[in-house]
């Protein structure tokens, strides 16, 4: 029997005269443990994993041990013919591989080959054999892409940042702060080593640049395996190579020297397609310039390229290979983040975005260790045949492989889920010439093509193509690519597990970094991979010099004061009751005669009696805080619905009932009792309250409403719940919880900033990946309008999808200045203190080049409207706020009397581990009760108000205590946090769009969303913000 007529794996011992194909066997398929390999007929493995390597390339055509010198007669008939087409006898022309119509179910024909034709560089004169290297003379780099041009623009803006201003810590003898450590490690250089940087220009495929990260990695790896460099080198397998000395002998020492390497990529039918890629020498590592940069305040050197080299070297054990098939790295990679196993359920989390930064005397590398529970990842499993509606939406964007591809599976992305199953979805197949065939179902097509696989006729059908070029696959033969981040809502049990794992205290984190993280990266690096590149890394935590700021004194109603600093622990939080003292709100705002409550009808929601008793307890307790309710609560029921318009209609009816029971007087605030924390229900309530009814709402779940315990046979309600709801009622009515005083009990105006300052916060939230690629981003701005700085009123706009800069910033700043002028007797501020949230380090230049001019344009427009002329502009100081970094600070010596062994609130670090030449600092304004505290990072972009480091640090810390949402200091300053919360409220409004409800009409333009009365705004109402104008002067969004 020939190799293409193998024995049936179900019947390996059948008599000779009864031997047959597996796919024609009448026998029931055996269980997996009784099956054998179709190649060698041995048990315990599939044919795609056959160790015999009897070629046909079922195992891996790239790793095939017969590739270099195969015996063609060992191939199956199909593979032999493909081999001969690719390798014709001498003196015969090479035949282009014929096209196979086999492939996924498609509604339109494919092109001539699934492996696109090569587009060679202009420098290629004649084809070169695989593995050839040719020196390229007068290489002209390709024109910069729009992304590269934008990066250059941002880099120029980065150079304009305010220069660093360091502050000395006074030596107070016995009161000198205890030493503090950070998760940075000292690096020293060998100046004699010749480090060089090379850039890889991959050949185009089908006239297009190779942009997909995984494909680039595969192609570059094959190039370097095919033509291995001669010296010591490391690559990021994306774009760059760093080497010690020349990478290849053919290259010269002149920057710009270029070689062309002929390598290959896999094509259809297991054939190889040649590629002609370039490697360009960009220049040496500039150690002297980098030293000057980190030690001089006047340096104009841009260190990005050199820092990139150091990053690539630091990834050596992640990207390096001990042999062609054995990576040094044990774990998996997600984007620029790497998760090597270090035992148990812990994964070392190394972020490629964290950069090398410098102090005057050394370089430091930042490492952080996070448990795998901080992020949920998908395992490599086959999808279920049938999925619920909610599960189907979770499949969008998931990367999978098709079981029918065998070992050489291609990674595909799920673009859409068909409502019908594979037996109902039909298409018209076409051959390579475009000739249509018979209409068939996806199920029948798959069964006829992949006879060895089993398919479920009721499996859901998934599109791996586009909306107009569908490629349908059955769910039951798709395998999830391992290591993908699960970005949907987790079940409560998994969420609780993640939180528990994340609560790792400082000392535990330090041990895990030293014992797990460092060894996995080859540190200490006196020998081995790092020393090859001239680097030596110390394995001791870097010690930094701390400073501690004082907490302000809180002043409540009737002049009563709360001194936070006198608390033995947790000196950044407070309560409305201290021993026998009860604090009243400093200002109670608009009066509320009685509580108006809407209860959602549900069998698992609180009963009417439970709601009444809660309202009675709340009404009695809130009076102690200064809010007087003169009447009994009024309660109305409404039925929920996932449909926003229907739900809003039912809420309207409940509101009319409340009004009729209240003497036809309008409700000023609504409490809505919900059965659980369902996001869609919450979003619809907030949309209706803010944008339709124009009434502030507070949602209370049954669990919160019934929280408490029995004491002496009497139910005692949780005082924390009552206090928190009272706080929300007060600020949503226009009240203020407390004012701030300094250590001399004098009122702090402008939150410690310069007099006549408007404090601003801004943020942008993006829609994320989904079916609707046009869903816009949401931008929000909040700002104060008086000297107490306790109220932050809002503006919000939609902008183009994934736009990083705030497009309508000028308009929103002008709107906030108009409000400031109205509230201050037609006066405008002399200063603006602006905190910008949600900006990464690479986007600092964007803030300089794009957003600051918009802020000034908004000021000039407001000045013109306010009678100050079209050139009026206050002095602007802008800081970028960030918490998504991996810098952590620990006490050098653990102290059991410290709060959770974390450092105390008020911690400031502005030296040692901050970027050189920039005015920046870390501030831990809060006390962390759980886990390891994470400080906020502040970098000053522009400082026209001439704040000193001490002034801006003190002011920022003071602002963290102005929050009205909870009884504690915020971990990031109040305006930045409020802007973030405002963007979350915008996501509630946009919930239908974010859930792809409008994907069927996509692509939609920005006007479509702005004028959509179900998510954003009614254009007939002539308002700039989506919410009702009656809420403009309230912090309804908190």
CATH code for position 435: 2.170.260.10
Residue 181 falls inside a structural domain: no
Same domain? For 901 and 1026 the reply is yes
Q: What is the pLDDT of residue 102?
A: 35
Which CATH number belongs to the domain containing residue 726 in this structure? Answer: 3.40.50.2300
Q: Are 627 and 729 in contact (CB under 8 A)?
A: yes
Q: What is the pLDDT of residue 433?
A: 77
Contact partners, residue 344, CB within 8 Å, separation at least 6: none
Domain range for 833: 739-1031
Q: What is the pLDDT of residue 129?
A: 62
Q: What is the pLDDT of residue 86?
A: 56
Same domain? For 696 and 726 the reply is yes
Same domain? For 777 and 653 the reply is no
Residue 8 falls inside a structural domain: no
Same domain? For 425 and 446 the reply is yes
Q: What is the pLDDT of residue 410?
A: 82
Last residue of a domain, one of 732, 757, 776: 732
Same domain? For 621 and 717 the reply is yes
Q: What is the pLDDT of residue 442?
A: 94
Number of neighbours of residue 840 by Cβ within 10 angstroms: 13
Residue 537 falls inside a structural domain: no
Residue 318 falls inside a structural domain: no
Same domain? For 638 and 782 the reply is no
Domain count, the chain: 3
Same domain? For 715 and 749 the reply is no
In whole angstroms, give the CA distance from residue 513 to residue 544.
18
In whole angstroms, give the CA distance from residue 970 to residue 974.
7
Which CATH number belongs to the domain containing residue 897 in this structure? Answer: 3.30.420.10
Q: What is the DSSP letter of 865?
A: H
Same domain? For 822 and 697 the reply is no
In whole angstroms, give the CA distance from residue 473 to residue 67.
32
Largest CA distance in the chain: 104
Q: What is the pLDDT of residue 788?
A: 92
* Low pLDDT (below 70) residues in the chain: 1-131, 165-175, 268-270, 297-298, 320-393, 408, 487-489, 525-528, 769-772, 896-899, 999-1003, 1019-1020
Residue 428 falls inside a structural domain: yes
φ, ψ of residue 614 in degrees (nearest 5) = -65, -45
Same domain? For 863 and 789 the reply is yes
Q: Are 739 and 788 in contact (CB under 8 A)?
A: yes
Number of neighbours of residue 676 by Cβ within 10 angstroms: 13
Q: Are 553 and 561 in contact (CB under 8 A)?
A: yes
Same domain? For 836 and 900 the reply is yes
Residue 614 falls inside a structural domain: yes
Last residue of a domain, one of 434, 450, 481: 481
Same domain? For 713 and 752 the reply is no
Same domain? For 871 and 799 the reply is yes
Instruction: Give this prediction's pTM.
Output: 0.80
Residue 182 falls inside a structural domain: no
Last residue of a domain, one of 453, 481, 509: 481
Residue 106 falls inside a structural domain: no
Select from 750, 736, 757, 817 the least CA-distant residue to 1038. Answer: 736
Residues 580-601: tens digit of each pLDDT: 889 999 999 888 889 999 999 9
């Amino acid at each position: 029997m020939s190799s293409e007529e193998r024995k049936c794996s179900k019947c390996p011992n059948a008599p000779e005269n009864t031997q047959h194909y597996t796919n024609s066997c009448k026998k029931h398929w055996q269980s997996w443990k009784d099956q054998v390999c179709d190649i060698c007929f041995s048990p315990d493995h599939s044919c795609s994993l056959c160790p015999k390597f009897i070629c046909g390339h079922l195992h891996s055509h790239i790793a095939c041990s017969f590739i270099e010198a195969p015996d063609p007669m060992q191939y199956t008939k199909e593979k032999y013919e493909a081999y001969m087409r690719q390798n014709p006898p001498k003196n015969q022309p090479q035949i282009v591989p014929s096209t196979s119509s086999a492939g996924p179910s498609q509604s339109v024909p494919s092109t001539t080959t699934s492996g696109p034709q090569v587009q060679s560089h202009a420098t290629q004169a004649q084809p070169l054999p695989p593995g050839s290297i040719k020196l390229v003379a007068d290489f002209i780099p390709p024109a910069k892409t729009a992304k590269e041009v934008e990066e250059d623009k941002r880099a120029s803006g980065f150079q304009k940042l305010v220069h660093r201003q360091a502050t000395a810590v006074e030596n107070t003898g016995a009161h000198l702060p205890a030493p503090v450590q950070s998760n940075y490690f000292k690096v020293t250089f060998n100046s004699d080593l010749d480090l060089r940087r090379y850039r890889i220009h991959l050949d185009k495929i089908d006239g297009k640049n190779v942009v997909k990260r995984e494909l680039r990695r595969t192609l570059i790896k094959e190039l370097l395996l095919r033509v291995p460099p001669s010296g010591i080198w490391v690559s990021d397998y994306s774009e760059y190579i760093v080497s010690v000395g020349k990478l290849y002998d053919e290259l010269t020492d002149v920057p710009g020297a270029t070689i062309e390497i002929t390598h290959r990529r896999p094509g259809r039918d297991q054939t190889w397609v040649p590629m002609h890629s370039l490697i360009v020498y960009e220049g040496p590592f500039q150690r002297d310039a980098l030293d000057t940069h980190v030690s001089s305040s006047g340096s104009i050197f841009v260190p990005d390229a050199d820092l990139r080299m150091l990053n690539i070297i630091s990834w050596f054990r992640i990207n390096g290979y001990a042999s062609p098939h054995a990576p040094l790295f044990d774990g998996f990679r997600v984007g620029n983040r790497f998760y090597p196993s270090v035992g148990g359920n812990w994964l070392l989390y190394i972020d490629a975005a964290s950069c090398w930064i410098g102090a005057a005397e050394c370089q430091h590398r930042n490492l952080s260790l996070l448990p795998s529970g901080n992020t949920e990842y998908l395992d490599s499993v086959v999808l279920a045949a049938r999925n619920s509606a909610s599960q189907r939406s979770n499949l969008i964007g998931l990367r999978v492989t098709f079981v029918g591809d065998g070992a050489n599976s291609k990674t595909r992305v799920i673009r859409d889920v068909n409502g019908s199953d594979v037996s109902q979805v039909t298409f018209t197949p076409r051959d390579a010439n475009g000739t249509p065939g018979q209409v068939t179902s996806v199920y029948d097509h798959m069964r006829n093509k992949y006879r060895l696989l089993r398919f479920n006729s009721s499996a859901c059908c998934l599109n791996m193509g586009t909306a107009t070029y569908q490629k349908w696959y059955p769910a039951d033969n798709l395998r999830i690519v391992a290591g993908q981040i699960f970005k949907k809502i987790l079940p409560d049990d998994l969420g609780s597990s993640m939180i528990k794992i994340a609560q790792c205290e400082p000392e535990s984190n330090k041990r895990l970094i030293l014992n797990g993280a460092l060894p996995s990266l080859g540190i200490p690096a006196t020998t081995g991979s790092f020393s090859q590149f001239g680097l030596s890394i110390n394995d001791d935590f870097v010690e930094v010099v701390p400073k501690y700021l004082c907490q302000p004194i809180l002043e409540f109603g009737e002049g009563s004061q709360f001194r936070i600093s006198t608390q033995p622990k947790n000196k950044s939080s407070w309560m409305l009751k201290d021993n026998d003292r009860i604090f009243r709100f400093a200002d109670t705002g608009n009066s509320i005669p009685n509580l108006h409550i809407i209860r959602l009808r549900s069998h698992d929601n609180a009963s009417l009696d439970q709601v009444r008793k809660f309202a009675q307890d709340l009404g009695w307790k809130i009076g102690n805080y200064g809010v007087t309710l003169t009447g009994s609560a009024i309660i109305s029921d409404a039925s929920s619905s996932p449909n926003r318009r229907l739900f809003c209609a039912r809420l309207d009816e409940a509101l009319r009932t409340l009004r009729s029971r209240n003497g036809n007087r309008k409700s000023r605030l609504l409490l809505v009792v919900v059965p659980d924390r369902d996001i869609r229900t919450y979003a619809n309530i907030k949309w209706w309250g803010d944008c339709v009814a124009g009434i502030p709402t507070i949602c209370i779940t049954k669990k919160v409403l019934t929280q408490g315990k029995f004491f002496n046979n009497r139910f005692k309600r949780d005082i924390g719940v009552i206090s928190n709801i009272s706080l929300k009622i007060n600020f949503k009515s226009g009240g203020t919880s407390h004012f701030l005083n300094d250590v001399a009990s004098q009122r702090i105006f402008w939150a410690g900033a310069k007099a006549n300052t408007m404090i601003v916060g801004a943020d942008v939230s993006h829609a994320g990946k989904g079916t609707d690629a046009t869903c816009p981003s949401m931008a929000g701005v909040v700002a104060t309008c008086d000297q107490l700085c306790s109220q932050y009123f809002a503006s919000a706009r939609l902008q183009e999808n994934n736009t990083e800069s705030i497009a309508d910033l000028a308009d929103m700043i002008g709107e906030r200045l108009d409000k400031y002028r109205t509230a201050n007797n037609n006066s405008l501020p002399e200063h603006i203190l602006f905190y910008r949230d949600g900006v990464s380090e690479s986007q600092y230049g964007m803030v300089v080049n794009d957003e600051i001019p918009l802020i000034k344009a908004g000021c000039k427009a407001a000045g013109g409207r306010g009678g100050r002329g079209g050139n009026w502009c206050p002095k602007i100081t802008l800081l970028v706020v960030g918490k998504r970094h991996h810098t952590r600070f620990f006490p050098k010596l653990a102290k059991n009397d410290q709060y959770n062994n974390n450092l105390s609130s008020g911690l400031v670090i502005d030296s040692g581990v901050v970027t050189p030449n920039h005015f920046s600092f870390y501030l831990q304004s809060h006390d962390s009760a759980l886990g390891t505290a994470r400080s906020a990072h502040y970098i000053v972009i522009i400082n026209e108000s001439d704040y000193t480091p001490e002034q801006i640090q003190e002011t920022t810390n003071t602002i963290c205590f102005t929050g009205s949402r909870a009884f504690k200091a915020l971990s990031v300053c109040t305006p930045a946090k409020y802007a973030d919360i405002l963007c979350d409220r915008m996501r509630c409004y946009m919930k239908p769009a974010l859930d792809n409800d409008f994907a069927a009409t996509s692509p939609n333009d920005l006007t479509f969303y702005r004028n959509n009365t179900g998510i954003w705004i009614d254009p007939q109402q002539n308002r700039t913000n989506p919410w009702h104008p009656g809420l403009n002067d309230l912090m309804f969004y908190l």
